[in-house]
Amino acid sequence: MQGIIFALFSGLFIALQGIFNARLGDAVGPWLSVTIVHFVGLIGCLLIYGFVRDRKIGGFRTLPLVYASGGLLGVLVVVTELTSIQLLGMTWAMSLLLVAQILCAFVIDLNGWFGVIKKSSNKGQWIGVGLMLTGVLIFSLA
């Protein structure tokens, strides 16, 4: 149940972040917006870490370096998200973003990439993917 609550809040935060970033991008441009967003995020994380200290920094040494690139991916997420919202509007951009995210996660699960446990698919999942794509198509044509 806790995972479901966190996932729902994550969806809420992604939607809010997208519109906030798009408005900031309108005001200052996409790259300065990304810089501001990540600087504010860094300050927030450092403050929280100062109180929580949930892990030791030494754990970083045992991890493949590629996983440290998540911050760069975050930069790309923010700039592509804010640009898509500016060009397409909030709902259409979020629909495409979520479909791309789900499809990517599905492919990663199917192949077991990045240390994820490989999972087999079933007919219902493929029907779900088809329904999701059909729904986005219907939404875009409406």
Instruction: Identify the band that residue 130 occupies on the pLDDT scale cut at 50, 70 and 90.
Output: very high
Query: Do residues 84 and 100 touch, judged by C-beta distance below 8 A?
Result: no
pLDDT in tens, 14-63: 989 989 999 999 999 999 999 999 999 999 999 998 888 777 777 777 88
Q: Are 79 and 31 in contact (CB under 8 A)?
A: yes
Cα dist from 100 to 53, 107, 132, whole Å: 34, 11, 11
Q: What backbone phi and psi angles, to 5 degrees, belong to 37?
A: -60, -45
Rounded to two decimals, the pTM is: 0.78
pLDDT band at 66 (very low <50, low <70, confident <90, very high): confident
